Structure 1
Amino acid sequence: MSPSRSSKPSRFRSSAALLAGTAVLAGAACSTMLQGNAVSVFDDPFKVAGMPATDGPTGLRPDAESPARDVTGTDGGDIDNLAASAVSDIEDYWATAYEDAFDERFKPVAELISWDANGFDGEFCGDTTYGLVNAGYCYADRTIGWDRGELLPSLQRAHGDIGVVMVLAHEYGHAVSRLSGLSGRDTPTLVAEQQADCFSGAYMRWVAEDSSQRFSLSTGEGLNNVLAGVISFRDPLLNEGDPDAGYDEHGSAFERVSAFQFGFTDGPSACSGIDLDEIGQRRGDLPVLLPEDQTGELPVTEDSARSIVDAMEILFEPQNPPALSFEPADADNCADARPSPPASFCPATNTIVVDLPALEEMGTQADPDDGTALAAGDNTAYSVLVSRYMLAIQHERGGVALNSAEAALRTACLTGVATVKMSEEVTTPDGDTIALTAGDVDEAVSGMLTNGLAASDVNGESVPSGFSRIDAFRVGVLGDADRCFTRFP
């Protein structure tokens, strides 16, 4: 994506960076979704940033207005029409939102440029477009351009029309950030990228509110797929000492999704608050780089599962620590909760039950060379195991239901608290060392979106919105256990 100190166009890490989302979301959800009326006095778990969590149409409306912008270099095809419609719609939003946010008139970008990366006759931002499977905002001449030959069709196949819209909303976010003076030549890439993520979230909220004349976005599966795309644009996982470490840094999946959610929840004003200090506060002590010559992956075995549970006992010091069983039948025989494999908690016996083969399968690492994949690895599985321990913590504390929508989000929140606690090494009684490594938080966030089990109640039931699950997890990452019990009573 776009370096803020360059006049070059945005650079995607991979032309297919969004392609994993649809397939993963379609078939991997292991939790079931809670139905009924919410009872929380603080937040409605069946809403997304105050909006009802519903499924419905997502993409270009059948009766959409025609594009208001012309495109230089277009072949007149459907994909360029979609892109021009997207930019026209984004400008409809900013025509009002910009003046409200910055108290000055909005100035649209100068030109839209289309090319085919397989052709030899295009130019964008001073570069030839041959092989440029990309989209971007050019600071030098205030243009937005895209590859109609490879990139946009790939995005459309992965996420439908809204995948194309999301990428162009991000690129337009760079234009807004520069126009408003929030970013300039000396703005770090990390800040500029997350400001653009935030601005794209603000626009997407407008679409979800049914304010767009061209596009629709459901707050259920439609928004989940948008978030999957944001996660796919995370920085690659690097080791300490890697020559690329710290160069052209855009942010982790957790950071980028957070920035998007800030804009979606609170509008453009929230984006003005994103700077190095804010990002540093959000990042805290979470690791960014892997130790040299390490993958950060702890094999999913019985011994390592025991070590994780031992670490939780050290960190949370329950008076009556839960037992650990590797017999799935113990979950089937629980008197007051249904199984939630690969890890279940039975309040009646105060036991965490692990289906080890299923947990091992969930913790399979994504191909590190596959730039299209969501984050997946050991902590996709271990975050689920930790979440069952967090149910045991709630059970011991008492006074709260374990089988409600609030319990599901409270569990996600407490899992965030536990995740941060592991950012420092914990030595178990057996002498094993457990510690969070770079990439683990992104694996947890991806799991929150794709299967929801780390954000589920004692019966493995979650709320419909991946947005809400991730938001609850972030509350815990940035807070403490008391905050989780207060926000999700």
Structure 2
Amino acid sequence: MGRRHLVGAVIAVSSALLVAACSTTVPGTPVSVFADPFRVAGMPATDGPTGLRPDPAKPTREVQGTDGGDVDELARQAVSDIEEFWSSAYREPFGGTFRRVKALISWDANGFDSIAFCGGDTYGLVNAGFCHDDRTIGWDRGELLPDLQRAHGDMGVTMVLAHEYGHAVQRQAELVGEATPTLVAEQQADCLAGVYMRWVAEDNSPRFTLSTGEGLNNVLAAVIAFRDPLMAETDPDAGLDEHGSAFERLSAFQFGFTDGAAACASIDMREIGQRRGDLPVLLDENETGEWEVSETSVRAIVDALDILFEPADPPRLSFAAADCPGTRPSPPVSYCPDTNTIAVDLDELARMGTQDVTGASGLATGDNTAYSVLVSRYMQAIQHQHGGVALDDAEAALRTACLTGVATTMLSKSVTTPDGNTVALTAGDLDEAVSGILTNGLVASDINGESVPSGFSRIDAFRVGVLGDQDRCFTRFS
């Protein structure tokens, strides 16, 4: 979130992002993810085993350069599984017969084992990729895959390899060519990985399991970790080799998971442009994208929302402890419908909005992790004023996420408040919001702080709002 004095001085703090680089339909009827707030794209939202099965089917591939360790065995199982899926799922959306990649190659980026991948030396190559030239898939077993497994479990590794195999599938299906922008190719591959993950989540895989609760949440966290770094318009690399923001890559993955491979084929620059709209992608020259959480910033954002939504009875802002009989507080920000009050625990909100400069979590952290929660409580006040809807059930939780998405898009246009400040969304803010929605769910909660169990459904509801309007949120979550 940005804030400028009218004289032009910018107040913000930069974001540190964890970035991992990348190389270059399921049959059935699409279902609405909103048909039941306790389901995920038509499946029950449940927790349970996630990862490599105790007794998986035997792998069907060999790995060149392997050290025979557990990480390479996991990767070998993952590719074997992904190929088993596409061998049966490829023909319906794309026609023809599926062809496997020619070879799998493993290397240790810290080693001197003279392994080559795609015509290059692998020393120091902490990466995974699909090589179009010789139709091979390779990975670093020294740093990349172990780090992914520690952060996101077995399915974090499998997700990355499903993405890389997506590049092989899109090439064979002629969805992309030499002139295809990287941004399109990468988001199609995210989408195709989502198609495979749906098959695993439906318990069809002979090697892996994936719960639709925490298991799928971990997969989404892995997608977030591979977002583009935050850049300014003046950065010489800005706009080059784009893969997409966390919000964009999550959207692409969810398209595949929900709607199948046909949705992936529809991703092109026009579709991505429609999703982006006027949302900021790059920071302005003097922006860093962060605004320290303080009483001043909180008041300014609430003032901006008053201007944007023009409620007949604007909610009152309080920095005292929440006092609302019959409603449980949901710190750091609570909304009390009885008094139409938003109560803010400023110290806790500031802690929530503090960046993890180490990037250890792989998630996007920063001011809008906190401000999106503040905005969500304002949107509960809008729902209360709207009338005719419950504020304390699962539909209310997803409606809150949706309306917060609406407000987020509206804030992409700067708003000048009565105190002389200009409040505006900046690049990176959407990624901070979806990271918070995944990890704590407060943006997608009701007035008691209760949310639906699936991070997938919470993020999808938020995206409906980002790309829609108030009426759509009230209609969809009624």
* TM-score, with structure 2 as normaliser: 0.92
Quote the residue 2:287 is aligned against. Answer: 294
Matched, 1:353 2:346: no
Matched, 1:14 2:13: no
Contact 1:415 1:454 in 2 (8 A): yes
Q: How does 1:82-231 map to 2 (within 5 A)?
A: 82-120=74-112, 121-231=114-224
Change in Cα spacing, 1:457 to 1:13, as seen in structure 2 (3 Å) is closer
Q: 2-side partners of 1:165 and 1:342: how far apart?
A: 36
SS of equivalent residue, structure 1 residue 87? helix
Aligned letter for 1:111?
Answer: A
Contact 2:137 2:164 in 1 (8 A): yes
Quote the residue 2:36 is aligned against. Answer: 44
CA displacement at 1:132 relative to structure 2: 1.2
CA displacement at 1:349 relative to structure 2: 0.3
Q: 1:334 aligns with which of 284, 301, 324?
A: 324
CA displacement at 1:372 relative to structure 2: 5.6
Deviations 1:105-145 (A, max 9, x none): 10111111111222221111000111112111001000001
Matched, 1:323 2:313: no
Contact 1:336 1:348 in 2 (8 A): no
Q: 2:456 aligns with which of 467, 483, 489?
A: 467
Matched, 1:408 2:397: yes
Aligned letter for 2:110?
Answer: N
SS of equivalent residue, structure 1 residue 246? coil
Identity within the alignment, %: 73
Q: 1:261 aligns with which of 246, 254, 263?
A: 254
Q: 1-side partners of 2:138 and 2:267: how far apart?
A: 26
Matched, 1:74 2:66: yes
Quote the residue 2:440 is aligned against. Answer: 451
Contact 2:224 2:362 in 1 (8 A): no
SS of equivalent residue, structure 1 residue 473? helix
Deviations 1:160-205 (A, max 9, x none): 2111111100000000011100011111000000000000000000
Q: 2-side partners of 1:208 and 1:233: how far apart?
A: 22
Quote the residue 1:243 is aligned against. Answer: 236
RMSD: 1.6
Contact 2:62 2:76 in 1 (8 A): yes
SS of equivalent residue, structure 1 residue 137? strand
Quote the residue 1:381 is aligned against. Answer: 370
Deviations 1:293-315 (A, max 9, x none): 32111111111111111111110
Aligned letter for 2:152?
Answer: H
SS of equivalent residue, structure 2 residue 75? helix
Q: What number of residue pairs does the alignment pair up?
A: 451
Contact 1:43 1:487 in 2 (8 A): no
CA displacement at 1:70 relative to structure 2: 1.2
Contact 2:20 2:225 in 1 (8 A): no
Deviations 1:350-394 (A, max 9, x none): 111001101111111232x74863111111111000000000000
Matched, 1:363 2:369: no
CA displacement at 1:488 relative to structure 2: 0.3
Q: 2-side partners of 1:216 and 1:235: how far apart?
A: 29
Q: 2-side partners of 1:443 and 1:228: how far apart?
A: 12
Aligned letter for 2:123?
Answer: Y
Aligned letter for 2:385?
Answer: E
Q: 2-side partners of 1:465 and 1:282: how far apart?
A: 23
SS of equivalent residue, structure 1 residue 461? coil
Misfit runs of 4+, over 4 Å? none
Which structure 1 segments of 5+ residues have no match?
A: 1-11, 17-39
Contact 2:308 2:410 in 1 (8 A): yes
